Amino acid sequence: EEEEQMEACEIARLLEELLSAALSRTSPRDACRAAAVSAAFGTAADSDAVWACFLPSGRDLPLLADGEQLPCRKKDLFLRLSGSPVLLPGGLLSMWLDRETGAGCYMVPARELSIGWGALADSRILNVYVFNSRSSESAELILVCWLYIRGKIDSKMLSQGSIYSVYMVYKFANYLYGLSDGYYGLELPVQKASVSVGDNHQIRKVCIHPNQQRSMRRNCHATLPHKRADGWMELELGEFVCEGHEDGDVSFGLSEMKDLSRKNGLIVQGIEIRHKI
């Protein structure tokens, strides 16, 4: 124990620059833990030199759509961007940083998706306030025959070397309005989800309906949704690795075009691209 204390004291005597250089090669969580080791570690772990390494490069830092001023200190800036999503210029796409790794995460909102027969052709935009939603605008599918939802994001916006998961965030109409017959035709046995990056194409079976017993009975190999703390449901569509050398878009979506029965009442907030836990 005495030897460990002596080693800790020797490390604490290192120059702040060396400590900062070492901590900048760890992770946000490790930097916060290191701050509790000693005063010297605390000073280094709080420095701009460390937290700048956990942030996107200067040219990739978001310009906030609502004119909010970004904090000057790098640690405060990281905490702001990882604390809650920020709306990017244009007022549609939102982003945030993964607090564990600093990886950039995004929400592609309903208005940026192709839904139904085309870009919102068979859906309506709901200009309603939704509690705990990062956008007041969602899309509701009204009397569609095909279930078709697709989106994309520029791969260069994502963090190199990160593993991402893609989630559709949605509700059914009766969950939002308290109706008993707000949705129908959505208890489908299985849908097809896809995620594509360059030449890598991933397809999986999913079920959007939360009735696990019914879904499992009809197709035991399908991915099922779960309810989030904010009241919405999310369904994982797939995952991918951002290698950093890809050009073009990451595309993703969900479809079911064999069953042509009428479908109604699916409310889509958007599709999230998040760092995989």
Looking at residue 69, what is its pLDDT? 74
Among candidates 109, 92, 91, which has minimal Cα distance to 270?
A: 109
pTM: 0.81
In tens digits, the chain (277 residues) has pLDDT values of 556 666 666 665 666 788 888 899 999 999 999 888 888 788 888 999 999 999 887 656 666 656 667 788 999 999 999 988 888 877 678 999 999 999 999 999 988 888 865 444 444 544 433 434 555 678 888 777 778 899 999 998 898 889 999 999 999 886 444 444 577 777 766 789 999 998 889 999 998 887 655 545 555 578 899 999 988 999 999 999 988 766 789 999 999 877 777 788 888 999 999 999 7
Looking at residue 150, what is its pLDDT? 93
Looking at residue 184, what is its pLDDT? 75
Going edge to edge, which strands form the sheet with 114-115? 114-115, 147-154, 249-256, 191-197, 200-206
Looking at residue 173, what is its pLDDT? 82
The CA-based angle 245-100-88, given to 5 degrees, is: 65
Distance CA 221, CA 2 (A): 56
* 157 phi/psi in degrees, rounded to 5: -80, -15
pLDDT per residue as tens digits for the range 136-167: 678 888 777 778 899 999 998 898 889 999 99
What architecture is the 104-275 domain classified under in CATH? Answer: Sandwich (2.60)
